[in-house]
């Protein structure tokens, strides 16, 4: 999916220009610096940080500012010029537009589009784009180059003022820049435009239109190799180039079939899916309609039907259904390169993420990546607010703190529609958070739509880890985590667990220790622990960890009171061997693991 551009404005004048550009860039957003702009779509407080976050998420950026600001903001993220999104600087007066990065990923085209809107010439500096208006090794969306190295002699000839021969074997409308190249039938260099695997022009540079849809079906649980082997053989049989495959398509019942997903991954193309009603509408065009298939899944053909649905009413079958004992495939060709984001649905994806206690530096890179790439975020409002710029412009679905099941179901419903969704928890999603509930809902609700959603769980920094890090190493030896909330677990069960922890002399962290109505559980836990460990045992109270109001202090088990704890506090009680020490002007707590004998021996 191509992400919409973000236009960055740092002043009121820049914001005015941004609105002009927004009209020329459908779907774009205006992000404005707080207190310096009037009414941006998304306000931000820190320019460099905001631009860097957007760029890491793959958003094209048009900055109405000095190019140096943009360069400094993204410098640390640069690694692969073929993966970097467009980065464009526009002067505040609208008199200059300069593509800085991502020239071969749409920046030159975007800059040219902006230049036309402003009535100026974009300052495109890429040699091929300057000379030809396009890049041979990156011909644009819907086109592929199997071997970019062959482009060099063609580009050299063009730059030397020579013409080329263009052999358009598919007869497709060519990209404007390609069709406008100087041409001659007797040129020494040839560009072949063809979706065939072989062509009669030796040594020619080939550009492949991505016009083909590979329709597939398979038995439940079919080996990946069964479908892959069939598909590759049929591509060879049809004589078409693998690079011409724009997508792998099938019935939505197959959206969780590993063989289908693995085939798409091998080909490096998206997998897209249709419902049975859509495929049944293709029945008149099927070469091999099947009543057996209709009785099983509600349409007369999966592989052929999906391929034809993908290429549209003007497309045609290139290769009718071929089958083995466990798989089928068919190939259809569209009259123009395919826009895969409009074909069927993607497989829905749900990422269950833990954002840590709230401090950005404690958020794992995997969580940041998944939040940056998702379309929808679901969570408690406070947790979404903590994410700030990272989820700017995304669809937000918020609910009250106590509405956990509603959040899970909303996440699954959105993902079942083919969307990329992130379900947000604080801390770690798997520790007293949303991941367990999500899997419980899946276990209890046998919805076929839910079963086909791809689910990923990303770890986060838990409150107990944050508290321990702030105060030293109280988790240096065996420890336990216990929630004192009896809303979901009977107090009798919780009490037995506290007694077991006391008997085992574990360091223990208490989550949900106190609420307005729940005032006795922490006091009772303290009583149980005092029977097994000294009153001087250190207790760490960590409140609002990772947030501006953070407060971490150490008391003793003997002096711990309920009144100094609330629901925002994590209570971490040391074992009988945990120690409090004063070093470097700081108070630290650690639990020795048993290295004393080694240390003494070495000394």
pLDDT digit string (tens) for 125-138?
Answer: 654 554 555 667 67
Confidence label for 548 from pLDDT (cuts 50, 70 and 90):
confident
Residue that wins the pLDDT comparison between 164 and 428: 428
- What is the chain's mean pLDDT, rounded? 89
pLDDT at 603: 65
Which CATH superfamily, name and number, covers 212-345?
Answer: CobE/GbiG C-terminal domain (3.30.420.180)
Question: How far is the C-alpha of 87 from the C-alpha of 107, rounded, in Å?
Answer: 7
- The answer on pLDDT for 1 being more than 50 is no
Question: Which residues of the chain does CATH 3.30.950.10 include?
Answer: 464-590
Among the residue ranges 74-88, 256-270, 324-338, 463-477, the one predicted with the least confidence is 74-88
pLDDT at 480: 97
For 6-125, the fitting CATH number among 3.40.50.740, 3.40.630.10, 3.40.640.10, 3.40.50.11220 is 3.40.50.11220
Question: Which residues of the chain does CATH 3.40.50.11220 include?
Answer: 6-125
Sheet holding 472-473, edge to edge: 472-473, 586-590, 579-583
pLDDT at 127: 47
Among the residue ranges 164-178, 489-503, 516-530, 543-557, the one predicted with the least confidence is 164-178
For 349-461, the fitting CATH number among 3.30.565.10, 3.40.1010.10, 3.40.50.300, 1.10.533.10 is 3.40.1010.10
- Three-state SS for 13-54 is HHHHHHHHHHHHCCCCEEEEECCCCCCCCEEECCHHHHHHHH
Question: Which residues of the chain does CATH 3.30.420.180 include?
Answer: 212-345
**pTM above threshold 0.85:** no
pLDDT at 104: 62
- The answer on pLDDT for 152 being more than 80 is no
Report pLDDT digits (tens) over 49-60: 999 999 988 889
The tokens of 456 are what?
Answer: 């990923």
Give phi and psi for 228, each to the nearest 5: -60, -45
By percentage, how much of the chain surpasses pLDDT 70? 95
CATH topology of domain 464-590: 3.30.950
Question: Which residues of the chain does CATH 3.40.1010.10 include?
Answer: 349-461
CB proximity list for 59: less than 8 A, separation 6 or greater: 3, 4, 5, 6, 85
Mean pLDDT, range 525-542, rounded to an integer: 96
């Amino acid at each position: 999916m191509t992400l919409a551009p973000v236009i960055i404005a740092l002043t009121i004048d820049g914001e005015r220009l941004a609105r002009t550009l927004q009209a020329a860039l459908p779907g774009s957003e205006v992000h404005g610096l707080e207190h310096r702009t009037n009414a941006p779509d998304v306000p931000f407080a820190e320019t460099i940080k905001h631009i860097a976050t957007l760029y890491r998420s793959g958003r094209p950026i048009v900055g109405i500012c000095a190019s140096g600001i943009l360069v400094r903001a993204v410098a640390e993220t640069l690694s692969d010029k073929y993966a970097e999104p467009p980065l464009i600087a526009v002067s505040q007066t609208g008199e200059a537009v300069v593509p800085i990065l991502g020239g071969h990923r749409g920046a030159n085209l975007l800059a040219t589009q902006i230049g036309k809107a402003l009535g100026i010439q974009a300052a495109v500096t890429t040699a091929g784009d300057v000379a030809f208006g396009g890049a041979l090794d990156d011909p644009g969306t819907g086109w592929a180059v199997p071997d970019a190295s062959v482009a060099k002699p063609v580009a050299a000839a063009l730059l030397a003022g020579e013409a080329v021969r263009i052999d358009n074997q598919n007869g497709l409308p060519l990209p404007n820049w390609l069709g406008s190249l100087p041409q001659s039938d007797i040129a020494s260099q040839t560009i072949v435009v063809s979706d065939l695997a072989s062509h009669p022009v030796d040594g020619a540079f080939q550009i492949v239109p991505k016009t083909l849809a590979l329709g597939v079906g398979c038995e439940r649980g079919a080996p990946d190799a069964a479908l892959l082997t069939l598909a590759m053989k049929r591509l060879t049989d049809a004589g078409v180039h693998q690079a011409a495959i724009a997508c792998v398509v099938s019935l939505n019942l197959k959206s969780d079939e590993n063989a289908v997903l693995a085939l798409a991954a091998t080909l490096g193309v998206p997998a897209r899916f249709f419902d049975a009603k859509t495929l049944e509408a293709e029945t008149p065009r099927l070469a091999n309609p099947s009543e057996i298939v209709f009785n099983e899944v509600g349409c007369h053909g999966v592989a052929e039907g999906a391929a034809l649905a993908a290429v549209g009413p003007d497309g045609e079958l290139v290769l009718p259904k071929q089958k083995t004992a466990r798989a089928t495939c068919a190939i259809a060709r569209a009259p123009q390169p395919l826009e895969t984001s409009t074909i069927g649905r993607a497989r829905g994806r749900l990422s269950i993420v833990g954002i840590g206690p709230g401090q950005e530096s404690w958020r794992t890179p995997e969580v940041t990546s998944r939040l940056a790439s998702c379309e929808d975020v679901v969570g408690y409002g406070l947790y979404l607010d903590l994410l700030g710029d990272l989820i700017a412009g995304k669809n937000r679905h918020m609910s009250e703190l106590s509405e956990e099941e509603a959040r899970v179901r909303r996440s699954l419903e959105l993902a079942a529609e083919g969307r990329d969704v992130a379900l947000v928890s604080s801390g770690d999603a798997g520790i007293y958070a949303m991941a367990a509930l999500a899997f419980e809902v899946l276990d209890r609700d046998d919805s076929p739509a839910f079963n086909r959603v791809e689910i990923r769980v990303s770890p986060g920094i838990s409150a107990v880890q944050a508290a321990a890090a702030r105060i030293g190493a109280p988790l240096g030896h065996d420890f336990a985590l216990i929630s004192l909330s009896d809303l979901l677990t009977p107090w009798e069960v919780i009490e037995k667990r506290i007694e077991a922890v006391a008997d085992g002399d574990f360091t223990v962290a208490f989550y949900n220790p106190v609420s307005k109505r729940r005032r006795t559980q922490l006091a009772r836990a303290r009583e149980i622990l005092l029977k097994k460990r000294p009153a001087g045992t250190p207790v760490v109270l960590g409140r609002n960890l990772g947030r501006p109001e953070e407060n971490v202090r150490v008391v003793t088990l003997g002096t711990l009171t309920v009144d100094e704890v609330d629901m925002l506090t994590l209570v971490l009680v040391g074992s009988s061997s945990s120690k409090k020490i004063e070093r470097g002007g700081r108070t630290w707590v650690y639990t020795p693991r048993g290295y004393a004998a080694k240390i003494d021996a070495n000394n």
